[in-house]
Amino acid sequence: MKIYNFFLKGFILAFLIFSIYSCTSDKKKQKKDKEIISEQVINLNVPSFNKDSAYKYLEEQLSFGPRVIGSDAWLKCSKYLVNKLKLWADTVIVQIAPVRTFDGKIFNAKNIIASFNPEDDNRILLASHWDSRPFADKDPLPENRKKPIDGANDGASGVAILMEIAKILSQHKPPVGIDIILFDAEDYGPTEDKKGIPNADYFWGLGSQYWSKNPHKAGYKARYGILLDMTGTYNPTFTKEGFSVKYAPDILDKVWNIAASLGYSSIFVNKKTGYVMDDHYFVNEISGIPMIDIIHYDSNTSSGFFPYWHTTNDNIDNIDKNTLEIVGHTILTVIWNEH
């Protein structure tokens, strides 16, 4: 019995030592793996994002005036965007999208699609909307509420980031196929006094609804998509928006983890917030492509958006080029981490 106890005690002691060593070793390995992943993300040969160049593309969009569908400024800006993208992309398509707005008007919207590495079936979709709202219906001054807005943050900021990315993709071939879509007629939704009309939510995102039902290429598929909206304000906070969590949680985590590894965890906040009816909703719901929305969230406003949302103050004065760089850097790093 004593010999048995001796060997038993020895066996238990050896087992405990092995277990402690094994657990410690596993934890060290997991920590090392995380360090390797982080190091790979940070040290990849990701092209630099030029915030001054992106800011210039934003200024040039605003120079035409409010980009309200059907207006002269809208037409001039569409030509500008197409001509710029033709300098960089392998193919550029302008998709004419017949749409009817909440007030019964009929327009031929223009979805602008630029493709890179068109032969690669492994594709990522990047998007933003290029139109601006016809009504500053959230403006604090009643006399401004029927005026169109510049849409510097709400529209032009995301487009400016994608234009700079398009230029970079023309200089540095990405590891996967990329499609950039600039959706039209996103922001011609019902005014405050028309919110109660039937199917009110479906008068937003008219261009993305049309594209989702009629993709620019038959049978088009992308592994996932990233939508940019309101990505140029000062002191940004990008939270995990509700529909993004619902439809594409893995993609959301991928992007937020990469942003954190780049030092942007205080901006790309690991917090779920409410549902936003944006272009990505229709892409998810209609086309089945999992798509997330990188969209600014402000807990201090009643809308949850930046203070100048849908007002005449959504202008160049309230744009921070550093925010453009943070978002652009993150997106480029996501692309260059694909294979």
Over residues 136-167, the pLDDT tens digits come to: 999 999 999 999 999 999 999 999 999 999 99
Confidence of residue 230 (pLDDT cuts 50, 70, 90): very high
106, amino acid identity: I
> How crowded is residue 85: how many other Cβ atoms within 10 Å of its Cβ?
24
Distance separating alpha carbons of residues 187 and 243, to the nearest angstrom: 18
pTM of the predicted model over 0.75: yes
Q: Write the secondary structure of 141-192 as one string of H (helix), E (strand) and C (coil).
A: CHHHCCCCCCCHHHHHHHHHHHHHHHHHHHHCCCCCEEEEEEECCCCCCCCH
Structure-token pair, residue 60? 């040039």
**pLDDT, averaged across the chain:** 90
Task: Give tens-digit pLDDT for 40-67.
Answer: 455 468 999 999 999 999 999 999 999 9
Higher pLDDT among residues 339 and 85, named by residue: 85
* Structural domains in the chain, sorted by start: 49-336 (3.40.630.10)
